[in-house]
Structure 1
Amino acid sequence: MTNKPTNCLLGGALGDSLGYPVEFSSYREIQQNNPIGITFINFSEPVLISDDTQMSLFTASALLISDNYLTNLWDCYQDWLETQWKTDKQSMSHKPVSKLVDFQELFNSREPGRTCLMTLAQQKPGSLQHPINNSKGCGGIMRVAPIGLIDEDENIIAQLGAESSALTHGHPLSSLSSAYLAVLIHRLLTSNISPQLVLDTLNFIKSKFSTMDYLSDFTEIIKLATNLSQPTDNDFINFQRLGKGWVAEETLAIALYCSLKYQKDPCRAIEISVNHDGDSDSTGSITGQIVGVQQSNSLWLPVSYLNKLELRDVIISLGKKLSQKFNT
Structure 2
Amino acid sequence: MSGRRASGAMFGLAYGDSLGAPTEFLTMRQIHRRFGPDGPEGLDGDPALVTDDTQMAIAVGLGLLDALANPPFTPELVTPMWRRRFVDWLRSPDNDRAPGNTCLRACEGLEAHKPWVEATVTGSKGCGANMRVAPVGLAPGLTDETRAGASQLQAAMTHGHPTGLAASELTAFAVRWLADGTAPADLPGALRDRCLEQRAVYHERWLGTLWRRPGMPDPETFISRGWDECRDVLDRLVDAVARGDRATDPCEFTGAGWVAEEALATGLLCFLLFPDDPVRAIRRGAASSGDSDSIACLAGAFAGAHLGMDAWPAEWAGRIEYADELAKLGAAWD
> Aligned equivalents of 2:172 and 2:328: distance in 1?
21
CA positional deviation for 1:232: 4.1
| Alpha-carbon distance in 2 for matches of 1:283, 1:307 | 23
Equivalent residues in 2 for 1:104-183, closer than 5 Å: 107-123=94-110, 124-127=114-117, 132-150=121-139, 151-183=141-173
CA offset at residue 220 of structure 1?
1.3
Partner of 2:190: 200
Confirm or deny: 8 A CA contact 1:126 1:170 kept in the other structure: no
Structure 1 residue 7: deviation in Å?
0.9
C-alpha distance in 1, partners of 2:309/2:18?
A: 21
3-state secondary structure, aligned to 2:99:
coil
RMSD: 2.2
After superposition, give the CA deviation of every residue in 1:74-106 in whole Å (9 maximum; x if it has no partner): 2211111111xxx4xxxxxxxxxxxxxxxxxxx
Q: Could you give the per-residue CA deviations for residues 180-211 of structure 1, whole angstroms, max 9, x where no partner exists?
A: 11111111221134333322233224322323
Structure-1 residue corresponding to 2:70: none
Of the three residues 247, 266, 270, the one matched with 2:282 is 270
Q: CA distance change for structure 1 residues 297 and 278 in 2, over 3 Å: closer, same or farther?
A: closer
Q: How many residues align?
A: 298
Give the TM-score, by structure 1 length.
0.84
Residues 70 and 160 in structure 1, CA contact (< 8 A), matched pair in contact too: no
How many Å separate the matches in 2 of 1:295 and 1:122?
39
Counterpart CA distance in 2 for 1:293 and 1:167 is 25
Point out the structure with the larger helix share: 2
2:90 corresponds in structure 1 to: 81
Does the C-alpha gap of structure 1 residues 194 and 305 become closer, same or farther in structure 2, counting only changes over 3 Å? closer
User: Which residue number corresponds to residue 52 of structure 2?
Assistant: 51
Question: Are the structure 2 counterparts of residues 320 and 231 from structure 1 closer, same or farther at C-alpha, using a change threshold of 3 Å?
Answer: same
Deviations 1:265-312 (A, max 9, x none): 1111111111111111000111100110122441x1123444421122
Looking at structure 2, the residues matched to 159 and 206 of structure 1 have their Cα atoms a distance apart, in angstroms, of 17
8 Å CA contact 1:226, 1:260 repeated in 2: no
Residues 56-67 of structure 1 mapped to structure 2, 5 A cutoff = 56-66=57-67, 67=73
Q: 1:44 Cα deviation (Å)? A: 4.5
Find the residue that maps to 1:278 and give its secondary structure: coil
Partners of 1:27 and 1:111 lie apart in 2 by 20
Give the match for residue 97 of structure 1.
Answer: none
- Does the CA-based 8 Å contact 1:244-1:279 persist in structure 2? yes
Instruction: Report 1:1-328 matches (<5 A).
Output: 3-41=4-42, 44=44, 47-66=48-67, 67=73, 68-83=77-92, 87=93, 107-123=94-110, 124-127=114-117, 132-150=121-139, 151-210=141-200, 211=220, 212=223, 213-236=225-248, 238-298=250-310, 300-321=311-332, 323=333, 328=334
Residues 307-316 or 115-124, more deviating:
307-316
